[in-house]
Amino acid sequence: MTDSEEESFVRLPDELTLENSSPEMTPERLQQEIEKYKELCLAKAERDKLLQEKQKLEKELEGLEERRVAWEEQAKAPPSLPDREMLFKGHVTEAEDVNALVVTPQIQRALPGGSALLTFEEPEVAQRILEMKQHEVKLDESAGCEGRVRVQAELVELLLPSALEIELKLSDRCILLSSLPRLDLSEEQLLDKLELFFSKKKNGGGEVEKRELLSDSGHVVLTFAQDGVAEQLMKKGRIQVPIGKQMYELKVTPYMSGQITDLQVRPSVCAKTVLLSGIPDILDEESMRDALEIHFQKPSRGGGEVDALGYVPLGGQALAVFEEDTD
């Protein structure tokens, strides 16, 4: 073979050259590459997920910061409430909810049948009665019942609010009407007259969507259907309103609705009040009250001057109202 013929052929690599060359893409190697690619994809997906979570948390943090700033700008109740000494002043009411909690200075507590609450003028007397625990009360012979009954003296504990947070919201469509006169009108009649006046554009009003008489204060809340009406009325501050045959000047102020967002309570002991339990139903209510008061006001039996007494016969139930001790 001539030199020219040899140059026209492509020389195949020998065995040594094949060993040193890149390995062929076998099925096993291909599977390994696929697995590596999957791992990279999973890592990228996890990273994207973490980035999204980070952005979500940052957005929530911004929202919380905005709420904090807005909260500080609004009027709110103090973060903590002062300690209050509570006592029973003899007021008992009937109610189905035996666990009702009324905003201080009144707390309601269930008073079961066969029990009584005694409030003494001096806390030292209540302490002596508690230390004695068991008491034998002499029954009134004039009531037709002789002998004695044994009752148990127990400590009175209440849960009092210790911290209160209220979220206040200013309504841009509501006004609060105060300085309302006391008239011989029903609630509906009064609301009708106010709605009629404030629904007229010539009086600066507009369509009234809702009206409400606040029973605790006697004020009236009017809600308008359109924006801007309440704002213009509040700018006036006071408005002359005809009710019946006379004109009355009503005060117009913004209406703020409040919602309790946090309420913390703490246990408190009534220093002057004692709970008596185990009272049998052998006398009528008035006679048993007299027997208890006579017994526990005598110093010889550890008692003292009784300021208030509440008694519920066996089988009955009531709510005892505790009020702040202002003495």
Beta bridge pairs of residue 266: 160
Q: How far apart are CA 92 and CA 307, in angstroms?
A: 15
Place of tokens 């002596």: 128
Summarised one tens digit per residue, pLDDT across range 272-299 is 999 999 999 888 889 899 999 999 999 9
- Domain 167-259 sits in CATH 1.20.120.1200: no
pTM: 0.47
pLDDT of residue 111 exceeding 70, the answer is yes
| Domain residue ranges of the chain, discontinuous segments joined by + | 16-73, 86-162+263-324, 167-259
DSSP 139: P
Given a cut of 70, is residue 161 above it in pLDDT? Answer: yes
Least confident of 65-74, 161-170, 202-211: 65-74
Q: Lowest-confidence range among 93-97, 168-172, 300-304, 316-320?
A: 93-97
Candidates 220, 79, 88, 240; CA nearest to 161 is: 79
pLDDT of residue 58: 83
Cα 221 to Cα 192: distance, rounded to the nearest angstrom: 13
End-to-end CA separation in angstroms for the chain:
133
**Do residues 259 and 96 make contact, with C-beta atoms less than 8 angstroms apart?**
no
